[in-house]
Structures are given as structure tokens and as C-alpha cells.
């Protein structure tokens, strides 16, 4: 048994503890050497171990969760945002947000989705705010472009302004004194006088009709004594007719193109020498000519315009002449000094009509830019900017009361402006076509006459602006009209080559 047990023991597997301890010792030795090597490397500066840096896994998870929730909310907002379906509007929206309107290979649907995503980040009101800011910038730029700038003028202009101030102030005092006296008149007496005038206006009828030229008659005006009528035609001819028999007195030859207007000097036929300059006319070639009552040829030419001169008007003193031009400016000429003293800009398009205040202190201009301006001739400042018409303004006139201005426009309306509060006080839906001329009754201004391209002339009461009479008889558009100084006649000129006189029965 003992021998068998010994053999059996020799055949059993043996565990070598010595070898295990040796491998462990080797591993520990290697670990110790590696630690010492790391320590040596740290001391040498080859390994930099920052202290205190701890990576917080839970905080990272929370940040990621917040990002996912924010993205979820953004997509939720994006689904609720209404985006235009029109690709043009989508591009405009992107442009307002200062984003590229089109990316490479981007289609309308993708562009729309990009706008939606941008709005989901910036907020649905971002586009609206940008539009409001853009409109505000455009409005500010518009106001800046409309600002009038001033510069020091020449010495003759300064002297003219001083002269106009000394001329206009006594006239203003006289006008205000007359207004105070008129205020003292009983209202019953005023109403009786007004009703009598309205009765006369309602009885207006065609007194005389005359073929004035071979081409349309663009303008007509009575002389200050109401005994003559001057007409201008597209043929280049100007003619003077006697009133009321409409006999041709003189044919003025000198223009080569369409004559826009011909006007009498304020003292012509009432105190001015017939051999002096009694009339002025303008034409489409930029020429301005002065005429007397004794010759068929012009006595003087006013040179300086390079574009069409549409209208012209004498200052109440007769010393100055205002002209409007298609170069977007109007000019003031000193006929006594025989020179241009003012070249005034301010309109963005052609200036068409001009009128002077009865006192001589103000000038009003209207243009094809749909705006009108009132200028103080004593200071050179634009004291009123008239904005309200939708289309070109072809006519403007001051009321004798001193504070009302009428404008006639291509939007078929006539607007009444009040200088006291610098605003439009009334709009008259006057005609069915553009208004070519507006004119207050001289002297008292108790009625207003408007002519238009619908071939008719209308008379309106003042105040109240109610229609009193419609003058129908022209076969073509009415291009000009005037009221005689004595208030008895109304003259109208037309595209049908005729002019007519209207008189109350």
C-alpha cells in the first residue's frame, strides 16, 4: 500500500507555487518601474498632468438633454409658423432677414423650409420687425430726400427779396384791414349778396364761340381791364381778341413750337404804355418772349431755359416774371434789371404751374411729381409742402382771401389747402378726367372755376364748395380758362380749336 500510494502520488499533477510568485513579482516589478518611469517623466517635464480637472458625466448628460429638448421645442414652433407659399415673398422675407435668397441647388420648397427654420429660431415676429425697420428707414430716407437745402444767393437776389418785403407788407396790411371790415358786415347782408351772385352764376350761358386757330388752343387770359382776351395755340401763334365781340385784334408771331401760356402784365391796358412789355409767353422749345400791344413781333427774348417752359406768371408788382420748366425747377426773372435772380429747385419732376400771392410775398408751384410747394419770396424758404394728390398737379391758384390755395390734378380732383394750418381743408371730386385749370374769382374769390379733359367746366361756391353750374359746350378737352377782372365773363379754350365766352343772362 505504501509503495502504491507513493507511485500514485508521483503521478498526480503538481502546483508550482514558486513560478506563480515569480510572475507576480515580475508584474509588480514592472508596475513599480513604470510608476517610477512616469514620475521621472513628470519631473523631466515630458508629461504634464493638470490637477483638479474632473469630468462630470452627469452634467454632460443634462446639457445634452437640454439641447435635445430645445431642438424639440424649435421644431414644434416651426410647425406652427405660417410661411408664404409664393416663392417671391419667401425670397423677400429671406432678404429682409439678411439671409441668402437662394442657396446652390435649393428649390422653392427647400427655400420655404429654410425660412421656416430661421423664423423658428429668431421668432415669428422677426420678419415683421425687419419690415417695420425697413419701412422706417425708407420713410426716413424719403424725408431726407424731401428736405430743402439753402445757400447764400447773389446780391441782386438779396436786393429783390428786400424790395418784395417792402412791397408786400403794406398790401398785406390793407388786405387784413379789408377782411376786418368785411367781418363787421351783418351776416344777413352777406347771405343776400352771396345768393344774388349764385343766381347769376346759375344763369351762365354760352355768349360767344370762336374758332381761334388751326390747332388746339392751350391757354387764354383776360386783360386787366377785361376788354381783351389773349389766346395761345399749339401752332406757335398767340392772338389777341376784343371782348365781348371776339374780333381778332392782333396775331403775335415768334414761337416755333407749342405755346404753353400767354399772360398780361398786371398794369397792361390800365396804366402801362402800350409800347412797353405788356405780355409774356412761353413755348415748348424753352423760349420766353415779351410783347407789346403795338407790334406783331416780340420786343424781347428771355434766354436761359434748356427744356420746355410749361407756364409763366407775372408778380403782382409787374417787376418780376416767374417761369416753370421741365428741368424740375422754376425761375424768377427781374425784368427791371433784365436778369435771372433765382433758379429754384425742389421738385423731383417737371414743374408745371406757378401762381403768386395777391400780396406778392409768396409763390406757389405745382409739378408732375404730384406735389405742390409754397415759397416765401422774402426769405427763399419753402413754407408749405402740399402732399395728397395721387397724380400730377397741372394747375394751382391763390384765393384773394390770402389763405386758400386750389390745386387741380390728374387724379380728377381739386384740393383746397389752408395756409393758416398748412393742411388740406377740402377735396372736391370735381371731374371725370384730369383737371387742366383752376381759377378763383378775382377780387373777392367767392367762387372757383375748374376745367378738365372731360370737356366741361364747373363753377363751385366758396365757402362750401358746392357745385353751382356746369358749362358744357366744347367738343374737346378744356385746356385753359380764365375769369375776367370785373367778374362778368368766363373764357374757356379747348382742344377743339375754339374758345368760348360765358355770360350770365
In the chain, domain spans: 69-128, 160-504
Nearest CA-CA partner of 404 in 388, 425, 429: 425
Q: How far apart are the C-alpha atoms of 19 and 26, rounded to whole Å?
A: 11
pLDDT at 6: 46
408, containing H or E segment? strand 404-409
Q: What percent of the chain has pLDDT over 90?
A: 64
Model confidence at 135, pLDDT cuts 50, 70, 90, reads: confident
Q: What percent of the chain has pLDDT over 70?
A: 86
Q: How far apart are the C-alpha atoms of 264 and 276, rounded to whole Å?
A: 12
What is each CA distance from 445 to 114, 194, 413, in whole angstroms?
A: 65, 11, 19
- Give per-residue pLDDT as tens, 312-327: 999 999 999 999 999 9
pLDDT at 17: 43
User: Which of 25-29, 44-48, 51-55, 183-187 has maximum average pLDDT?
Assistant: 183-187
Within 13 Å, how many C-alpha atoms sit on residue 145's CB side?
8
pLDDT at 87 over 90: no
Model confidence at 27, pLDDT cuts 50, 70, 90, reads: low
**Domain 160-504 - what CATH class?**
mainly beta
Cell readout for 417 is: 389747402
Q: How far apart are the C-alpha atoms of 67 and 61, rounded to whole Å?
A: 10
Q: Strand 300-302 vs strand 423-428: parallel, antiparallel, or unpaired?
A: unpaired
- Give per-residue pLDDT as tens, 354-385: 999 999 999 999 999 999 999 999 999 999 99
**Beta-carbon count within 10 A of 435 CB:** 28
Pair 222, 243: CB distance under 8 Å: yes
pLDDT at 432: 95
Q: How far apart are the C-alpha atoms of 253 and 238, rounded to whole Å?
A: 7
Q: Determine the average pLDDT of the residues in 192-217.
A: 93
pLDDT at 267 over 90: yes
Nearest CA-CA partner of 456 in 468, 472, 475, 435: 472
The mean of the pLDDT values for the chain is: 86
Give the residue with greater pLDDT, 93 vs 17: 93
pLDDT at 190: 87
pLDDT at 94 over 50: yes
- Give per-residue pLDDT as tens, 249-266: 999 999 999 999 999 999
Pair 288, 282: CB distance under 8 Å: yes
Handedness of CA 204, 458, 466, 374 (dihedral sign): negative
Model confidence at 138, pLDDT cuts 50, 70, 90, reads: confident
User: DSSP of 356-407, one letter per residue?
Assistant: E-TTSSEEEEEETTSEEEEEETTT--EEEEEE--SS-EEEEEE-TTSSEEEE
User: DSSP of 269-334, one letter per residue?
Assistant: TTTS-TTS--EEEEETTS-EEEE-SS-SS-SEEE----S-EEEEEE-TTSSEEEEEETTTEEEEEE
Amino acid at each position: 500500500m505504501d509503495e502504491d500510494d507513493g507511485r500514485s502520488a508521483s503521478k498526480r499533477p503538481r502546483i508550482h507555487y514558486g513560478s506563480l510568485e515569480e510572475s507576480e513579482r515580475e508584474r509588480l516589478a514592472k508596475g513599480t518601474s513604470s510608476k517610477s518611469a512616469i514620475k521621472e517623466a513628470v519631473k523631466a517635464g515630458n508629461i504634464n498632468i493638470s490637477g483638479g480637472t474632473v469630468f462630470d458625466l452627469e452634467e454632460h448628460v443634462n446639457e445634452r438633454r437640454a439641447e435635445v429638448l430645445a431642438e424639440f421645442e424649435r421644431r414644434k414652433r416651426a410647425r406652427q409658423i405660417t410661411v408664404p407659399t409664393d416663392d417671391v415673398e419667401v425670397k423677400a422675407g429671406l432678404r429682409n432677414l439678411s439671409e441668402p435668397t437662394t442657396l446652390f441647388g435649393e428649390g422653392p420648397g427647400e427655400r420655404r423650409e429654410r425660412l421656416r427654420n430661421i423664423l423658428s429660431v429668431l421668432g415669428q415676429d422677426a420678419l415683421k420687425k425687419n419690415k417695420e425697420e425697413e419701412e422706417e428707414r425708407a420713410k426716413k430716407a424719403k424725408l431726407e430726400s424731401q428736405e430743402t437745402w439753402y445757400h447764400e444767393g447773389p446780391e441782386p437776389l438779396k436786393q429783390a427779396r428786400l424790395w418784395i418785403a417792402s412791397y408786400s407788407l403794406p398790401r398785406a396790411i390793407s388786405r387784413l384791414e379789408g377782411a376786418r371790415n368785411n367781418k363787421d358786415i351783418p351776416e344777413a347782408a352777406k347771405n343776400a349778396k352771396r345768393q344774388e351772385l349764385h343766381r347769376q352764376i346759375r344763369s351762365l350761358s354760352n355768349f360767344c364761340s370762336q374758332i381761334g386757330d388751326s390747332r388746339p388752343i392751350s391757354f387764354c387770359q383776360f386783360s386787366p381791364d377785361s376788354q381783351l382776351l389773349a389766346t395761345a395755340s399749339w401752332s406757335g401763334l398767340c392772338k389777341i381778341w376784343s371782348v365781348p365781340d371776339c374780333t381778332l385784334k392782333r396775331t403775335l408771331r415768334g414761337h416755333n413750337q407749342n405755346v404753353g401760356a400767354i399772360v398780361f402784365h398786371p398794369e397792361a391796358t390800365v396804366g402801362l404804355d402800350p409800347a412797353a412789355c405788356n405780355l409774356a409767353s412761353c413755348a415748348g422749345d424753352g423760349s420766353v418772349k415779351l410783347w407789346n400791344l403795338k407790334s406783331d413781333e416780340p420786343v424781347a427774348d428771355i434766354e436761359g431755359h434748356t427744356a420746355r417752359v410749361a407756364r409763366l406768371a407775372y408778380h403782382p408788382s409787374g417787376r418780376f416774371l416767374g417761369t416753370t420748366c421741365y428741368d424740375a425747377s422754376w425761375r424768377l426773372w427781374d425784368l427791371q434789371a433784365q436778369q435771372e435772380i433765382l433758379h429754384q429747385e425742389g421738385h423731383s419732376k417737371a414743374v408745371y404751374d406757378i401762381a403768386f400771392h395777391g400780396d406778392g410775398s409768396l409763390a406757389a408751384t405745382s409739378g408732375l411729381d404730384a406735389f405742390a410747394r409754397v415759397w416765401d419770396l422774402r426769405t427763399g424758404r419753402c413754407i408749405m409742402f402740399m402732399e395728397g394728390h395721387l397724380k400730377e398737379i397741372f394747375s394751382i391758384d391763390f384765393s384773394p382771401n390770402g389763405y386758400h390755395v386750389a390745386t387741380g390734378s390728374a387724379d380728377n380732383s381739386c384740393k383746397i389747402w389752408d395756409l393758416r394750418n398748412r393742411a388740406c381743408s377740402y377735396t372736391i371730386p370735381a371731374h371725370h378726367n384730369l383737371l387742366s385749370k383752376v381759377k378763383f374769382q378775382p377780387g373777392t374769390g367767392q367762387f372757383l372755376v375748374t376745367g378738365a379733359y372731360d370737356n366741361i367746366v364747373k363753377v363751385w361756391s366758396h365757402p362750401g364748395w358746392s357745385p353751382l353750374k356746369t358749362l358744357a359746350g366744347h367738343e374737346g378737352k378744356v385746356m385753359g380758362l380764365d375769369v375776367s377782372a370785373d367778374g362778368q365773363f368766363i373764357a374757356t379754350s379747348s382742344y377743339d380749336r375754339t374758345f368760348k365766352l360765358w355770360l350770365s343772362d
